[in-house]
Amino acid sequence: MTEMVYGSVAARPGEPILPKWWRTVDRWSLTCVFALFGIGLLLGLAASPPLAAKNGLEPFHYVSKQAFFGCVSLSIMVIVSMLSVDLVRRLAVMFFAVTFVALVLLPVFGTDFGKGATRWYSLGFASLQPSEFLKPVFIVLSAWLISASQEINGPRGRSMSFVLTCIVVAFLALQPDFGQACLVLFGWVVVYFVAGAPIIVLLVVAAIVVFAGMTAYGMSDHFARRIDGFLSAEVDPTTQLGYATNAIREGGFFGVGVGEGSVKWSLPDAHTDFIIAVAAEEYGLVMVMTIIALYAIFTVRALHRLTKERDPFTRLAGTGLAAMFAMQATINMGVAVRLLPAKGMTLPFVSNGGSSLIAGGIALGMLLAFTRRRPQGEISDILINRRA
């Protein structure tokens, strides 16, 4: 209990892997992730049977898939969190090359599953969305380039990361997948800002985003419809946003009761993009605030630990991953309550989706590896020694 309150102690030399991992990993963060996954299964039991019935499948077909992919995801998360920072960086760079090639080849070999955007590879038994796997490894690669540029005679990592970001965002926008493009850009901006970005660069990026948004609005009917629907004074009650808004309003503080919700019968994406609407309708504001609290605790714990890291790469990569994780959850819930335009983005570890779960396990595994306690002086020690 003492370690849970005051933090894990540093690893002991020669200690076996599992005891070392358990001693140094943030257990509060682990608890939050497992709790989110448990809530996701609970909500899946309510949200997925209508879709399974519509497709002629067993009532809990999608819940079973979620449980399987979730167990795989959590296992991957634990394994990755045991790795050293250097090994995580090397694997992330190699994995980025693979996922980027997969992203580039989507127009040739990908499919849209009738949703109007070519984002997936159909594997027969499942589908694979490269952008979900690209996001975390891209952040780690960007952090490595930017941190390397801070070294004496280091490479022009800032410029290289900026060019790479533009290329990745462009390929995502061409799918079109503006939500993932915005999320990748946000993660890079956070890393660049924490590294000490000049204000002029951030202003230029903001101007490019505004220009790109105006261009997309004029050239993409898909993008324009979503923006027009968001800016409309009234919500069409027969749209996904209309159903979700009504469900959240009907739920009140304590919900209409387990299994008594109706939104799951109207929303085709009730088990994925709009899972928070099911939670709000059946379990009320109490469940929604619990989910928000779990995301907040995980993010704050990660950022707090990263403030004590001496290694610039670890701080930048961890901060980018934590910010992206929190932003994805914010976007998903913001869309459901009509604070943001529709993005088609899952709620991490709660929504149904194999690619999202496994990619989330990789991302949080890397973040837990970056936030593990290691035998090192804290950054505050450096500042005190300099003053002395």
pLDDT at 130: 92
- Contacts of residue 101, defined as CB under 8 A and 6 or more positions apart, other chains included, come to none
- Alpha-carbon dihedral of residues 178, 183, 187, 193, nearest 10 degrees? 70
Please name which of 316, 303, 309 lies closest in space to residue 194, comparing C-alpha atoms.
316
Residue percentage of the chain with pLDDT more than 90 = 46
- pLDDT exceeds 80 at position 237: no
- pLDDT exceeds 90 at position 383: no
The string of pLDDT tens digits covering residues 301-319 is: 999 999 988 899 999 999 9
Mean pLDDT of the chain: 85
- Chain-centre distance of CA 31, in angstroms? 17
Q: Over the Cα atoms of the chain, what is R_g?
A: 21
Q: What distances in angstroms separate CA 90 from CA 87, 96, 137, 140, 164, one per listed residue?
A: 5, 10, 10, 10, 18
Backbone angles phi, psi at 120, to 5 degrees: -125, 155
- pLDDT exceeds 90 at position 238: no
pLDDT at 267: 76
The string of pLDDT tens digits covering residues 119-162 is: 888 887 778 889 999 999 999 999 999 999 888 777 888 989 99
Q: What is the C-alpha to C-alpha distance for residues 312 and 150, in angstroms, rounded to an integer?
A: 9
- pLDDT exceeds 60 at position 244: yes
Task: Say which range, 30-34, 76-80, 120-124, 294-298, has the weakest mean pLDDT.
Answer: 120-124
Q: What is the C-alpha to C-alpha distance for residues 330 and 336, in angstroms, rounded to an integer?
A: 10
pTM of the entire predicted model: 0.89
Please name which of 245, 268, 290, 322 lies closest in space to residue 26, comparing C-alpha atoms.
322
pLDDT at 236: 66
**What's the distance, Cα to Cα, between the start and end of the chain in Å?**
36
Q: Which residue has the higher pLDDT, 271 or 44?
A: 44
The string of pLDDT tens digits covering residues 94-110 is: 999 999 999 999 988 88
- Chain-centre distance of CA 348, in angstroms? 6
In the chain, domain spans: 23-387
Q: What is the C-alpha to C-alpha distance for residues 70 and 349, in angstroms, rounded to an integer?
A: 8
Give the SS3 label for residue 128.
Answer: strand
Residue percentage of the chain with pLDDT more than 70 = 91
User: For residue 255, what are its two tokens?
Assistant: 């919900």
The string of pLDDT tens digits covering residues 340-374 is: 887 778 899 999 888 899 999 999 999 999 999 87
Beta strand 121-122 with 127-128 is antiparallel
